[in-house]
Amino acid sequence: MKRFFTCWFFLPLLGLCLAACSDDNGTEVPADADDNFITSFCLTLGGEEYAATIDGNDITVTVPYTVSLQGAVATVAYTSSATILPDPATVDEWDDEQIFRVTSYNGEVNEYTYRAVKEEISSEGDVELKTAADIAAFAEAGTSVVKGNLTIGTDDGEEIESVEALTKIKQITGNLILKNSFKATDLTGLEHVETLGGLVVGSVGTASEAELNLVTMNALAEITGDVVIRNNSLKWIELGALQKIGGDVVVASTALESVELPALTGIGGDLDLCGITQIAYDEYGNVNMGGAVAELSFPQLEKVGGVVRINYFAALTGISLPELSAAGGVEIPTLGHLFETIDLSALTVVDESLKIGSVRTAGKFASDAANNTTLRTLGDLSKLQSVGDSLKIENFSGMTELPAFSALKSVRVLYIAYAESVENDLDLSSVVFPEDGALIINNNCSIPTVVGNGAMAGDMMLETSNLAGPSVKGFTSVRNLTVTVNNGAQYDKSATIAYDFERIEGNVEINYRVPMNAKGQNTIAFPNLTQVGGAFVMPQQATMRFKKLSCPKLQTIGGQFCITSPAEEYDFPELTTVGCADNAELLKVERTSQKVPTYGMMDITLYSVASVFEMPKLARVGGLNGLYLDCSNTKATTISCPALTEVDEKIWIFGSTSSLKNAKITSIAMPKLEKAKAVSIERFSKFSDFSSFVAVVQNGSVTAENWTVTDCTAYAPTYEQMKAGQARPE
């Protein structure tokens, strides 16, 4: 009974299952009724089969770009129980995108997108097209991508008159190299090239003989390598779509008229433009400049990884790089005398050097030398923050305004020369110089004042023709200071040139030149200077005249103190020690005089001193050679060092460096002197009181062989007389 019940229970279920395998009309449902897939796709044209790739719902047929698929026959495999619309057999436009809808037996739709991809025809390796026939054959092949260098022409073979047949080329991964036999005047035929590995016409060292006048490639967007064009036929460069150059740009041509790169934003290497292909000189040694270009503008160029170099363009009047913010270097040192304006207003960082200058031309006579006088300003450099090496501005004699370096924080060397018309101060209050750095103002600049802010770790070298400058303010210290003043026609004017340092770590050297007949009414002042770590020297100049050297707060000079130029007054009221540093050395060593062959550690010329030479607090002179005082032709009657107690080496006071005797000096006052290794008093006719030297003789500091009195006619005591205290004539 139980088994019978179970059978009757499953009979209805069996009926339901049988009903599911047929439709309402009793037709059997296929097993793939839910499927709606395309499984393969192939086009046949002219006996060639082009199988598609199916990726998800994308169907792609890839063919050479020269092949048209119009009219191809499709062979399509899809789910057998499904339908497809449109029917591939009815489609002819296989170059166009198509949408196929595959509907399953159960009515589910699956869409496929067909696309034809036209593949470039590539050549592997370098290609050389030496003749017109080579060009024609290459064009016939339809090659659009050259995976290597493309060389056109030879150095001595058949002339190439045209490359118009090469219109299918879109990409050259290597260099496009044009040899000397390339005689086409432009690059018509290569206007579809979009990317280029490089362009070479000539070499860095040798100019090409190709007759290329115009470089224009309208589709060219990127050059991954270098552009090297050294060719005196080149007049125009027009690459309107070019945005990026990965390597160097080196262009040199005496015929260059324009460079149009309006979309260029970046250069990976150098930008090197030159108006000549080789250096040649005129009869006076001036470089013959070339090029007809008047304006060089790169309106979108933002960064140059290497150095921007622009040189020897005779007609150039302006350079515009308004968006350039960073460069490995900027070197524009040979601008012509017509040059007027430069725009580097966005420049922020220069890794190496920034050099802007004009050529200084020579003539028959030295007075014929000439600089650029048309440029008035270098424009806005207020965004410039750092220059890794040197910032150099020179040979702009008409420049009236220096840039405001308001954002400049660091530079190694700042050099300015031949800026005779500058009217504004040089403000360096935000600049930090390194220990090996320097500020150099050279060759007759007229900068009134150099303004700093605190200690300068490097050197300062100032040369000027301006009687009133450059004065220095705001710097508390400097490593070494060199000052050269060429006064020219202003030598009789009275002025004070002040240097506002508190400390000079190394040496001070001052060269002050005026004509021989100058009255020398000028004062050189260090009003706040308290210490010089090294030497303080003013070497003898045949045309050196000044009124006063004033250092009212100076206490110590660690090295040599050598003033051998004529001054009427020496103002050193606080100077206590000279030459006492551990490393004290003689910066100036050998004289030209045989009478006095060397310089002393403290060596002062009293040539123009009016009455009294006084160092009221000088207590010690250390180091080599000792204390030398040159009284040649002086008007002074008295030498006074009332606090001097020690001279480590020799005291040498002489009336002249020749055989003449001094007839002015009557008093040498060193009443506290206790130590000296030697004393030599020479060539005086009126000096007779040697009392200041009795102590060093009597205490044995000076021995008999180190006591010398020569050509002193008023009194010449022997060592024995000094030992006995006979310091004055009886």
Question: What does the alpha-carbon distance between residue 85 and residue 42 come to, in Å, rounded to a whole number?
Answer: 17
Per DSSP, helices labelled H in 512-621 are: none
Dihedral pair phi/psi, residue 469, rounded to 5°: -175, 180
Indicate whether 412 and 471 sit together in one domain.
Answer: no
Mind listing the pLDDT tens digit for each residue in 711-729? 999 999 999 999 999 999 9
CA 415 to chain centroid, in Å, comes to 11
- CB-CB contact of 457 with 477 (8 Å): no
Is position 471 within any domain?
A: yes
Residue 112 has pLDDT above 50, yes or no: yes
Three-state DSSP at 20 gives: helix
The answer to the question of residue 650 being in a domain is yes
What integer pLDDT is reported at residue 184 of this predicted model?
94
Share of the chain above pLDDT 90, in %: 77
Supply the CATH number for residue 79's domain.
2.60.40.2340
Torsion of CA 178, 181, 184, 187, to 10 degrees: -10
Task: Kindly report, residue by residue over 126-147, the tens digit of the pLDDT.
Answer: 999 999 999 999 999 999 999 9
* Boundary (domain end) residue, out of 69, 91, 119: 119
Residue 15 domain-assigned? no
- For residues 112 and 115, give the distance between their C-alpha atoms in angstroms, rounded to a whole number: 10
Tokens, residue 104 = 């399953």
Whether 398 and 277 map to the same domain: the answer is yes
Is a pLDDT exceeding 90 seen at residue 461? yes
Q: How many domains is the chain built from?
A: 5
**Which pLDDT belongs to residue 385?**
98
- The predicted-structure confidence for 274-316, as pLDDT tens digits, reads as follows 999 999 999 999 999 999 999 999 999 999 999 999 999 999 9
pTM: 0.82
Are both 388 and 436 inside the same structural domain?
Answer: no
247 belongs to a structural domain: no
Percent of the chain at pLDDT exceeding 70: 91
For the segment 500-528, the average pLDDT, to the nearest whole number, is 80
302 and 389 inside one domain: yes
Q: What is the pLDDT averaged over residues 101-114?
A: 96
pLDDT on residue 595: 67
8 Å CB contact between 406 and 382: yes
Question: Can you say how many angstroms the Cα of residue 363 is from the centroid of all Cα atoms in its chain?
Answer: 30
Q: Is residue 469 very low, low, confident or very high in pLDDT (cuts 50, 70, 90)?
A: low
For residue 417, is pLDDT > 90?
Answer: yes
| Phi/psi at 132 (5° precision) | -65, -35
Q: Is residue 382 part of a domain?
A: yes
Residues 186 and 295 in one domain: no
What pLDDT is recorded for position 405? 96
Predicted pLDDT at 20: 42
Does 510 lie in the same domain as 374?
Answer: no
Domain edge (last residue) among 533, 552, 571: 552
Instruction: Report the candidate in 434, 403, 435 with the shortest Cα–Cα distance to residue 419.
Output: 403
pLDDT for position 594: 60
Distance CA 215, CA 15 (A): 86
Give the pLDDT mean for 411-420. 95
- Domain shared by 316 and 218, yes or no: no
Longest CA pairwise span in the chain (Å): 172
pLDDT for res 516: 53
Q: Is residue 86 part of a domain?
A: yes
- With b for 16 or more beta-carbon neighbours within 10 A and e for fewer, the 609-648 pattern comes to beeebbbebbbbbbbbbbbbbbbbebebbebbbebbbbbb
- Domain assignment of residue 220, yes or no: yes
Specify whether 611 is located in the same domain as 677: yes
Domain ranges, residue 301: 265-424
Judge if 405 and 512 occupy the same domain. Answer: no
What per-residue confidence (pLDDT) applies to 25? 57
276 and 338 fall within a common domain: yes
pLDDT at position 10: 41
Q: Which tens digits make up the pLDDT trace of 47-98?
A: 999 999 999 999 999 998 889 999 999 999 999 999 999 999 999 999 999 9
| pLDDT of 463 strictly over 60 | yes
Q: Are residues 369 and 396 in the same domain?
A: yes
Residue at which a domain ends, from 391, 424, 457: 424
Q: Which of 272, 251, 274 is nearest to 328 (CA)?
A: 272
538 and 679: one domain? Answer: no
Residue 5 is assigned to a structural domain of this protein: no
Is the model's pLDDT at 539 over the cut of 50?
yes
pLDDT at 301: 98
Mean pLDDT of the chain: 90
